[in-house]
Amino acid sequence: MNSPLGILVPMQEEVELLVSMVEQPEMMQWSSRSFYKGFLNGKRVVVAQSGIGKVASSFTASLLIQHFRVGAILVTGVAGGISDHIHVGDLAIATQAVQHDMDCFPLFPKYMIPHSGITFYEPDTKLTETLNKAASSFLQYEFQQVVSEDMLSALGIHKPTIHSGLLVSGDQFIGTENQLNEIQKGLPDSLFVEMEGAAVAQVCHDAGVPWCSIRTISDKANAKAHLDFNLFLNQAGKIYTSAVARKFVEML
Stretch binding ligand ADE (CB under 6 A), from 78-86, 98-106, 110-118, 202-210: 78-86
CA distance 223 to 173: 11
C-alpha distances in angstroms, 203 versus 63, 134, 207? 11, 25, 6
Q: Is 142 a catalytic residue?
A: no
CA distance 131 to 198: 17
| Window 206-235: contact mask with ligand ADE (x via CB under 6 A) | ------------xx-x---x---x------
Cβ–Cβ < 8 Å for 177, 194: no
- Does residue 177 have an active-site annotation? no
- Smaller CB distance to ligand ADE: residue 79 or 204? 79
Q: Where are the alpha helices (DSSP H) in the chain?
A: 12-20, 54-68, 125-137, 143-146, 149-155, 177-186, 197-207, 225-232, 238-251
Q: Which listed residue (13, 14, 194, 196) is catalytic?
A: 14
- Is 194 among the residues that bind ligand ADE (CB under 6 A)? yes
- Alpha carbon distance 240, 9 (integer Å): 12
Interface with ligand ADE includes 121 (CB under 6 A)? no
Examine residue 78 and tell whether it contacts ligand ADE (CB under 6 A): yes
Residue nearest to ligand ADE (CB): 80
Footprint on this chain of ligand ADE (rule: CB under 6 A): 78-80, 173-175, 193-195, 218-219, 221, 225, 229
The set of catalytic residues is 14, 219
